[in-house]
Amino acid sequence: MIHTPICELLGIEYPIIQGGMAWVADASLASAVSNAGGLGVIAGMNSNAEQLRAEIRKCREMTDRPFGVNVMLMSPFVEEVARTVIEEHVPVLTTGAGNPGKYMAAWLEAGIKVLPVVASTGFARLVEKRGARAVIAEGAESGGHIGELHTMALVPQVCDSVKIPVLAAGGIADGRGIAAALMLGADGVQVGTRFLVAKECTISQVYKDKVLKAKDIDTIVTGIRTGDTVRSLKSNFSRTFAKKENDPSITKEELERLGTGALRLAAREGDEANGCFLAGECSGLVNKEQTAKEMIQEMFLEAEQILKGASNRIR
């Protein structure tokens, strides 16, 4: 059994948390991951206060175990999401796409454990000073909003920079990724892309089929010009966006308008033509639909076998 300080910190069985994916991570997925012994996370990005409150309460009906909420700091609802998690006594928060500094004092006062996503060592040190209980070092292999460094280089450098536990994210979809993350010094992992095809994940079947079919080279990074760098599956939307991004006659505002609503269209409507299907580079490793429990058990069994067998390679 793989057990690390993250398990004690979060009250979970396996040191794995689920990415708080916008328009994807609802009570159904989060409760399934928590019931399987990981930490399920509800996306705060696409909800206002009332919608998030309803999702949190639904999740509480579906699991007795701890779960978290992801506060996406670029969300138009961030202020009300930041208040709602306190009112609803959410035990754990992950934050993404920015600096949670402004909200930290209130969250800590409420006894919430805050785990910010970091994309650099400097930012990891900063959030540690502000009271983060662990950091999620997320490499640019990830789907969605990404930083510049990749997991292999980012994780060990973040581990050397902070005393709090580090979770590795970006490119991890099986036991090999978990074993590698632990060898880089991480105490656990965050997994997003693999959970897209969990049976309890309520996104459109079109989205799931795209992930299941994707190969290694099927993701693309767009949004460098708008400062909102995002990895998604190659699609009609991402190709059009990439072309327009390289056209100097198209303004930043026009590009931003093009992106609006595309995540919802992908996740909820399965709109192949206009949807933006966020997914990580490890999509090519994701080949079967399973329950969240089957995924977690399979990944940790594989990681354990790899780690136990590793000494056979040493003479």
| Residues of the shown chain interacting with ligand TUI in the complex, contacts defined by CB under 6 A | 22, 45, 72, 96-99, 117, 119, 123, 138, 144-147, 228, 230, 263, 278
CB of 276 vs ligand TUI, minimal distance in Å? 8
Instruction: Tell the smallest beta-carbon distance from residue 80 to ligand TUI (Å).
Output: 16
β-bridge pairing 144-145 and 166-169: unpaired
Cβ proximity to ligand TUI: between 245 and 294 the closer is 245
CA R_g for the chain? 18
Contacts of 234 (CB under 8 A, 6+ apart): 218, 219, 220
Q: How far is the CB of 310 from ligand TUI (least distance, A)?
A: 30
Using the minimum distance from each CB to ligand TUI, give the nearer residue, 74 or 310.
74
| Closest separation in Å from C-beta 102 to ligand TUI | 11
Paired tokens of 91: 């035990």
Quote the least distance from Cβ 43 to ligand TUI, whole Å.
8
CB-nearer residue toward ligand TUI: 12 or 263: 263
Q: Give the nearer residue to ligand TUI in terms of CB position, either 111 or 227.
A: 227
* Single-letter amino acid code for the residue at 262: A
The Cα–Cα gap between 137 and 140 comes to 10
Question: What's the closest the beta carbon of residue 154 comes to ligand TUI, in angstroms?
Answer: 10
**Nearest Cα residue to 133 out of 25, 17, 237, 249:** 17
Nearest to ligand TUI of 20, 177 (CB atom):
20
Closer residue to ligand TUI (CB): 97 or 182: 97
Measured from the CB atom, the residue of 60 and 244 that comes closer to ligand TUI is 244
Q: Which residue is nearest to ligand TUI (CB)?
A: 144
Measured from the CB atom, is 185 or 259 closer to ligand TUI? 259
Of the pair 132, 198, the CB lying nearest ligand TUI is at 132
Q: How far is the CB of 221 from ligand TUI (least distance, A)?
A: 12
Q: Which among 19, 6, 138 is positioned nearest to 68, based on CA atoms?
A: 19
Least separation in angstroms between residue 139's CB and ligand TUI is: 9
Min dist CB 279 to ligand TUI, Å, is 10
